């Protein structure tokens, strides 16, 4: 093969390589639009599932409002509210009346009960007579921490027992809260036994 023919063949191969389309924009845009539609559908289905769960829990009574004068605070805690579940079923999340909304929380324990103030979410109150116990646990629906990293308060509301999970900004406070809430729970059990 002569050098001239060789160069001409090389130019022809390079011309063919240069003429190939680098990006198929129509296919790429189609894939991006398809992916956006799949993500939007998944988000919509999750939202509908959340609303459906709230409808199923429609028998749950309204949450007690904070009393005008709750009394002198026994304990205070700042931290996070991680949600509520049916007692003993850590994956059965309760979403009715805003109990499924995670948020910052300020807890105040008084003789009347437990005030839960949540900026950006609905506040609620757990009367002293409704407190059934407290424990340190590692998880509640959608949140798993180290062993003992979550303060779980069990309380009665309507016909249901509810577990609500809280995490203090200072985990060392959890032990004091567990002791105080267990004492209230024991006192409630004794009062009910005396009736």
Convert the chain into a string of H (helix), E (strand) and C (coil): CCHHHHHHHHHHHHHHHHHCCCCCHHHHHHHHHHHHHHHHHHHHHHHHHHHHHHHHCCCCCCCCCCCCCCCCCCEEEEEEEEEEEECCCCCCEECHHHCCCCEEEEEEECCCEEEEECCCCCCEEEEHHHEEEEEEECEECCEECCCCCEEEEEEEECCEEEEEEEEECCHHHHHHHHHHHHHHHHHHHHHHHHC
Q: Answer yes or no: do 179 and 83 share one domain.
A: yes
Give yes or no for residue 30 having a pLDDT over 80: yes
Residue 28 resides in a domain: yes
Query: What is the domain extent for residue 177?
Result: 75-194
Interatomic CA distance for residues 183 and 136, integer angstroms: 15
Give yes or no for residue 79 having a pLDDT over 90: yes
Q: Answer yes or no: do 175 and 97 share one domain.
A: yes
Which of 88-97, 136-145, 172-181: highest mean pLDDT?
A: 172-181
Mean pLDDT (whole number) for 90-106: 86
Mean pLDDT (whole number) for 68-95: 87
Q: Answer yes or no: do 89 and 156 share one domain.
A: yes
Q: Answer yes or no: do 102 and 172 share one domain.
A: yes
Q: Answer yes or no: do 85 and 181 share one domain.
A: yes
Give yes or no for residue 19 having a pLDDT over 60: no
Q: Answer yes or no: do 79 and 164 share one domain.
A: yes
Q: Answer yes or no: do 32 and 111 share one domain.
A: no
Residue 69 resides in a domain: no
Q: Answer yes or no: do 45 and 79 share one domain.
A: no
Residue 66 resides in a domain: no
pTM over 0.75: no
User: How many structural domains does the chain have?
Assistant: 2
Residue 165 contacts residue 150 (beta carbons within 8 Å): yes
């Amino acid at each position: 093969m002569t050098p001239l023919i060789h160069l001409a063949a090389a130019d022809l191969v390079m011309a063919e390589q240069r003429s190939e389309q680098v990006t198929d924009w129509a296919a790429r845009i189609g894939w991006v639009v398809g992916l956006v539609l799949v993500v939007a559908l998944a988000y919509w289905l999750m939202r509908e599932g959340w609303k459906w769960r709230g409808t199923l829990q429609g028998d749950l009574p309204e949450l007690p409002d904070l009393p005008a004068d709750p009394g002198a605070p026994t304990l205070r805690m700042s931290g996070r509210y991680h949600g509520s579940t049916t007692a003993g079923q850590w994956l059965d999340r309760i979403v009715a009346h805003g109990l499924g909304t995670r948020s910052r929380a300020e807890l105040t324990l008084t003789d009347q009960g437990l005030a839960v103030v949540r900026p950006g979410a609905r506040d609620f109150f757990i009367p002293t007579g409704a407190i059934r116990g407290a424990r340190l646990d590692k998880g509640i629906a959608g949140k798993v921490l180290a062993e003992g990293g979550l303060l779980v308060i069990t309380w009665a509301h309507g016909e249901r027992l509810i577990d609500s999970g809280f995490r203090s900004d200072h985990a060392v406070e959890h032990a004091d809260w567990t002791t105080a809430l267990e004492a209230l729970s024991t006192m409630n059990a004794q009062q009910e036994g005396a009736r």
